[in-house]
A and B are shown apart, each in its own frame.
Chain A
Amino acid sequence: MSLGKCLEILSKYKLSFLLGVRTTLIVAVLGTLIGLLIGLVVGGIRAIRLDKTAAPYKKVLKKAVDIIFRIYIEIFRGTPMMVQAVFIYYLVYTNIVRWDKMVAAIFVISINTGAYMAEIVRSGIQAVDPGQNEAARSLGMSSMQTMFDVVLPQAIKNAFPAIGNELIVNIKDSSVLMIISITELMFQSNSIAGTTYRFTETYFVTALIYLCLTSISSIILNAIEKKMNNTKTSLPQSDTDFKSISMAKEEL
C-alpha cells in the first residue's frame, strides 16, 4: 500500500467521497433523531407505571401495548440491519409503493435505532429515583405531567452518553445500507475501488474518513454533555446513575 496512491485517489475522487459523506451524514443524523423520537415514545410508554388504583381497562391496554413494543424491540435488535434494509425495501417496493431508496434507508435506520433508543430511554427513566415520581403525584400532578416535567428531563440527561453513542454507531453502521444502493460512503468507496482496482488504498481512505466523522461527532457530543452538566441541574450521583443505566441494559 502506498500513501501517495491514497492521496491521489482522495484528490481524484474527492467529489465522490464527499457525496458519500453527505449521504452517510444525512442518513445517520436523521436516523438518530427520528430513532430518538421513536425511543422517547416507546420507551416512555413502556416505563409508565399505572397507579394501583387505575381503571382495569387501562391496565389491559397498557399490557397489550407493552407486548407489542417488546416484540418490536426484540425483532429489530435481534436481526441484522442489512437484512432489515433489503427485506423492508423490497416488501414495500413490490407490495405497496415504489419508494425512493433514500427514504427507505432513513426509514430502516430510524426504526432500527428506535428499538435501541427505546431501551436506553426506558432504563434512563427507571434510573430516576421513584420518590420524585411519588412526590409529583402526591402534589396532584398527572402521570403525563410527572413524566414530562420531572422524569424525562432527568432521564434524557442521564442517558445522554448512551443516546450520543447511537449517532456514532449509526455513522458506521449506515454502511450496510449500501445493500439497497444508496450513495453513502461505503457504496461510493466500492465503486471507486471498482474503477481504480486499488482496493487497499481506497478502503484505507474510506476508513480514515469514517474515523474523522466519528471523532468529530464525539467531540461535539462531549461538548454538549459538558454544557448540560454545567447548568448545575446535574445530580451529584450522575456517575452511578449512568452505571445503573448500563447495568439495566445488560439485564435485557
Chain B
Amino acid sequence: MAVIEVKDVRKGFDGLHVLKGISFEVNKGEAVCLIGPSGSGKSTMLRCINLLEDIDGGSIRVLGEDIAQLKDINTYRSKVGMVFQQFNLFNNMNVLDNCMIAQKRVLKTDPETARQKALLHLKNVGMADFVNAYPSTLSGGQKQRVAIARALCMEPEILLFDEPTSALDPEMVDEVLNVISDLNKQNMTMLIVTHEMGFAKDVADKIIFMDSGVVCEQGSPAQIFDDPQNERTRQFLKRVL
C-alpha cells in the first residue's frame, strides 16, 4: 500500500525550476532512499511533503489524502516526522523537554505520559543518560539521535530524513545510521535523503536517483547500484562509490 504518492510534482523558486515533474511512491513499512547530486532538488522534495513548501503543479498524496487540500496542517505534520541535517534541537530546552514539548502542545498528552514516552524513545536511541543535558553540550551524533527520538515521540506514520549524517564527524555517522537501521527493522516507513551509499544499499527497499529536478531512475538497490540503466546514474555512482 502506497502511503506517499508523488505525481508529476513541479516546483520553482522565482523562475528557477527545481522539481520538473517528479513521480514516485513509498509503500507502508518501506525504507526509500533518495540520492542524487547536490542541487538536484532532494531537500525541496522532502520539504514539499512536509508542507514547508507548496508545489506549483502535480499532486502529493500522503496516507490517502491530497495534502494540498488538508484543513489541519498541524495534525498532518505531527504524523509525518522530519529529521534535519542540522538537527535543529530547541536550544532553550534540555533533551527531555525537546522530546516532550510537541507531545504536550500538539497531541495534548498529559505531562507524565509525555515524559514516559520521551524516556522510552531516548532509551531506544541510547540517549537516556542525557535527559537533563542542553543541546549545546552534546556532540553532533548525540544531537541527531535526540532529534530522531523527538520525532518518534509524536508516533509518526512516516519519517522523512534530510541528509541526517551529512553534518556529522565521520566517527559519529554510524551511531546515527544504526538507529535508522533499527527503525527500518521495526517497519517504520521512511524516506531518506542520503549520501551514504553503503547504507542506502543495506537498508533501502527502493532507491530513487534524482538529477536536476527529475527522477532519472528508480528501483531496488541491486538494480541501481549493480546494473544502472541511465547514463546519469552511472556517472553519479562512478563519482561517489
Chain A positions near chain B (C-beta within 8 angstroms): 51-53, 129, 131-132, 134-142, 145, 149-150, 153-154, 157, 232-236
Chain A residues with CB under 8 Å of B74's CB are 140-142
From B50, B53, B80, B105, A149 is in contact (CB under 8 Å) with B105
- Closest-by-CB residue of A relative to B86 is A131
- Closest-by-CB residue of A relative to B70 is A53
* Contact status A134-B101, CB under 8 Å: no
Chain A residues with CB under 8 Å of B88's CB are 129, 131-132, 134-135
* Contact status A140-B92, CB under 8 Å: no
* Contact status A145-B92, CB under 8 Å: no
- Closest-by-CB residue of B relative to A138 is B82
The contact sample of 9 A-B pairs, CB cut-off 8 A, is: A52-B54, A131-B88, A138-B81, A139-B77, A140-B102, A141-B102, A232-B134, A234-B136, A235-B136
- A52–B169 CA distance with the chains assembled, in angstroms: 34
- A136–B51 CA distance with the chains assembled, in angstroms: 13
B52–chain A nearest beta-carbon distance, Å: 6
Say yes or no for B10: interface residue by CB 8 A criterion. no
Chain B residues with CB under 8 Å of A137's CB are 52, 77
**How many residues belonging to B are interface residues under a CB distance threshold of 8 Å?**
35
- A70–B215 CA distance with the chains assembled, in angstroms: 45
Known: A131-B84, A138-B81. A157 touches B92 (CB 8 A): yes
* Contact status A140-B77, CB under 8 Å: yes
- Closest-by-CB residue of B relative to A152 is B92
Say yes or no for B90: interface residue by CB 8 A criterion. yes
Chain B residues with CB under 8 Å of A51's CB are 51, 73
Known: A135-B84, A149-B105. A140 touches B75 (CB 8 A): yes
Given contacts A52-B52, A140-B74, A140-B106, 9 further A-B contacts (CB under 8 A): A51-B73, A53-B51, A132-B89, A140-B76, A140-B77, A140-B154, A145-B105, A149-B105, A233-B93
- Closest-by-CB residue of A relative to B75 is A140
* Contact status B54-A53, CB under 8 Å: yes
* Contact status B54-A139, CB under 8 Å: no
* Contact status A135-B81, CB under 8 Å: no
- Report which residue of B50, B90, B101, B136 has the largest number of chain A beta carbons within 10 angstroms of its beta carbon: B90
- A234–B92 CA distance with the chains assembled, in angstroms: 7
- A52–B54 CA distance with the chains assembled, in angstroms: 7
A133–chain B nearest beta-carbon distance, Å: 9
- A99–B222 CA distance with the chains assembled, in angstroms: 82
- Closest-by-CB residue of A relative to B77 is A140
Say yes or no for B145: interface residue by CB 8 A criterion. no
B229–chain A nearest beta-carbon distance, Å: 35
Query: In chain B, residues 221-235, which have Cβ atoms closer than 8 Å to a Cβ of chain A?
Result: none
Say yes or no for B78: interface residue by CB 8 A criterion. yes
Chain B residues with CB under 8 Å of A232's CB are 134, 136-137
- Closest-by-CB residue of A relative to B102 is A139
- A142–B73 CA distance with the chains assembled, in angstroms: 9
Say yes or no for B151: interface residue by CB 8 A criterion. yes
Known: A53-B51, A153-B92. A139 touches B84 (CB 8 A): no
Say yes or no for B150: interface residue by CB 8 A criterion. yes
Query: In chain B, residues 83-101, which have Cβ atoms closer than 8 Å to a Cβ of chain A?
Result: 84, 86-93, 101
- A145–B107 CA distance with the chains assembled, in angstroms: 13
- Closest-by-CB residue of B relative to A131 is B88
- A232–B87 CA distance with the chains assembled, in angstroms: 19
Chain B residues with CB under 8 Å of A149's CB are 90, 101, 105
